[in-house]
Amino acid sequence: MKFEEPTSDNLFDRAMVIGKATPRIDGPLKVSGQAPYAYERHDVVEDQLVGYPLGATIGRGRITAMDTEAARNAPGVAAVVTTLDIDPLEISSFNNARLFGGNEVRHYHQAIAVVVAETLEQARHAAEMIDVTYEEEEGNFDLEKAWQNGLGTDEADAETGNVDEAFASAEVTLDETYRTPDQSHAMMEPHSSIADWSDGENMTVWTSSQMIAWARKSLAETFDIDEDRIRVESPFVGGGFGAKLFLRSDAVLAALGSRAAQRPVKLTLPRPFIFNNATHRSATIQRIRLAAGQDGRLTAIEHEAAAHEFEGGGNEENPTNLTKLFYAGANRRVKHHDVVLDLPESSSMRAPGEASGLMAFEIAMDEMAEKLGMDPVEFRILNDTQVDPMNPDVPFSDRNFVDCLKVGAERFGWSDRNRKPGDTRDGLWMVGHGMAGAYRGAPTLTSGARVRLERGHLTVETDMTDIGTGSYTILAQTGAEMLGLPLEQVTVKLGDSRFPASSGSGGQFGAASSTAGVYAACVALREEIARRLETDDVRFEDGNVIAGNKAIPLEEISADAEITAEDTMEFGDFQDDLEIGTFAAHFVEVGVHAATAEVRVRRMLAVCDAGRILNPVTARSQVIGGMTMALGAALSEQLAVDKPRGYFVNHDLAGYEVAVHADVPDQEVIFLDTLDPAISPLKAKGVGELGICGVAAAIANATYNATGIRVRDYPITLDKMLDRLPETF
């Protein structure tokens, strides 16, 4: 099925299940510990061994020798595979770093060996016995140094109007530079896999992956074997945030270990490997220039940024992407520099580009509003746009950013905010209020599904994954809505490459795409039932198919034989003529201790415009999760780079400080629950990445409002404010 021109009505206009607050159908499995995550799947294959990885201890260079004799003779060891034993593996379509093989070391903790043993303790002990000799080379690990030394070309990535002339003639201008640090996904479940390649022919991998089809293709390319010989399964994923979009070394090492030991092998990456061996969000340096008239209308925007990438590509952190679309302004120039460093590979992390870009841009908008003497909310409302500012002939399909701002200001009590920085106290706490806007794109990808109706029970099968987002529930709701069934009569099976390929989970495209795929399959099933009844006039309600005046139970229609249908939703090119996005306004209250500069977030509000909300329960969870991640990004999260050696020093959850329960205040989420007919038949957009966008800037703006101290270098730690606090408190 192809989704072509949007229509004003469809099968969901009077939805009974879609849009209703529905608890997760997979919730009982998770809270009872019965949901099978990758490393815990003891029942999928017998006789499992355990693998343990060894990582390089230099940032750049070559391995000249590896002595493995002691490791091979250690108790319980079944196999040892080193990077010197095999030629460099291929780099697949979805990876930029070579995952194993050869003597070259390109980053710290690059996988250089795997030890397979009967127990984890035996494998880890033996791995520590491998003696490695290196020839170390000087590497380039410093983004700041590259920025200060100049980044080459002055040619813009995109430009419209006459930016220089607009700045020269502007009544009010801003020119500031902002910095965001390297960040880690820090998901709860590490990268984990069980691989059975014991016969050296057919491979089965039970893994933690967001993208089943991508993982299967990557394994085929990496090992140069046919995709038909590979099965990938990932029914539950304990968090990903982009870290598990692509094939990583856990699956590769488990497969190599299995082939060497001729038994199945399970392997999880130790937590330090998550920071240095897997991917992360790149640091950014961003210079933002704004120009406006005294009336507050932006006349020019310039955004230049740098982020680091792995040699050969891989960086997704382009913070200038949002600048092309978010606010009005006739003259603009954006320029992004990908700086090649010898740090571990940077790649997608929740809302790549927009998350870090808005951390800077929405501070700049507040600073400009202050220069103009304007309310930050009114300044943003004044500069809203309903078209692509760089391509005015391209409208937004549905954009309700102004409504987000107005609803948020009213609910938050913005009119009663602290208006003068440093002017409001609560005992020893300086109280501040801040806000920020948010934008995140809303793409869709081709997505397929298979549905089976047997004795009135519907089973949905698709390789879509659930990374904690609620995929099981919204897909069950879609199937129930389409067939007029109660939710209890729908079973959803996910994360298996034997099922039709879906969009997968990532890029905020999962919900809109995968539900559209289930919709397409259900349409095909409805058509097959109608064909069997020899009529086109059918409705599906209350477990019945209604043809004319006759109601026939679906249980009766499918009593003798299962009825199966399969289809894929593809999206027509009409979307090329539209900008489709999601929008939000975030409001925050903070307290900053007048003696210590400790920042505590007191309350948070998000107002979101993301089309139809398929399930308010799971959607809210996604948004508050994003808000919490952004709280950490604003106040504590930073991968500290050892610039002489080229690695992230704080590579564990003790040194890399994510927000914890005690840091999280009252969080309120409001959905406008609009309908965007251009996005999909369900008129629903993703919301999981929107929740992280803009929040850190709202916290930064509130912190400034509390103290009068402007910090432009994240995270906003107390050492950056302590010497500028008021002398008396």
Residues annotated as part of the active site = 689
Residue entry with tokens 């399964």 = 233
**Collapsed DSSP state (helix, strand, coil) of residue 706:** helix
Size of the chain in residues: 729
| Nearest alpha carbon to residue 715 among 689, 688, 697, 692 | 697
Four-residue CA torsion sign, 420, 421, 423, 426: positive
What is the C-alpha separation between 2 and 7, in angstroms, rounded? Answer: 13
Residues near 421 by beta carbon (within 8 Å), at least 6 away in sequence: 432, 704, 705, 706, 707, 708
> In 10 A of CB 58, how many CB atoms?
21
| Nearest alpha carbon to residue 281 among 347, 360, 186, 361 | 347
Residues near 393 by beta carbon (within 8 Å), at least 6 away in sequence: 387
* Distance set, CA 486 to CA 328, 477, 481, 693 (Å): 46, 9, 8, 36
Q: Taking a C-beta distance cutoff of 8 angstroms, is the pair 366, 376 a contact?
A: yes
Q: Which tokens hold the place of 574? A: 């009409």
Specify the pairing of strand 172-180 against strand 104-105: unpaired
What is the C-alpha separation between 116 and 257, in angstroms, rounded? Answer: 6
Half-sphere exposure of 445 (CA within 13 A, CB side): 16
* Distance set, CA 128 to CA 52, 81, 289 (Å): 10, 14, 52
Furthest C-alpha separation in the chain: 85
**Collapsed DSSP state (helix, strand, coil) of residue 138:** coil
3-state helix, strand, coil in the chain (%, to 5): 30, 30, 45
Q: Taking a C-beta distance cutoff of 8 angstroms, is the pair 45, 194 a contact?
A: yes
Q: Which amino acid is at 297?
A: R
What is the C-alpha separation between 400 and 142, in angstroms, rounded? Answer: 41
Locate the DSSP E strands across 293-330: 298-309
What's CA 51's distance to the chain center, in Å? Answer: 28
**Collapsed DSSP state (helix, strand, coil) of residue 287:** strand
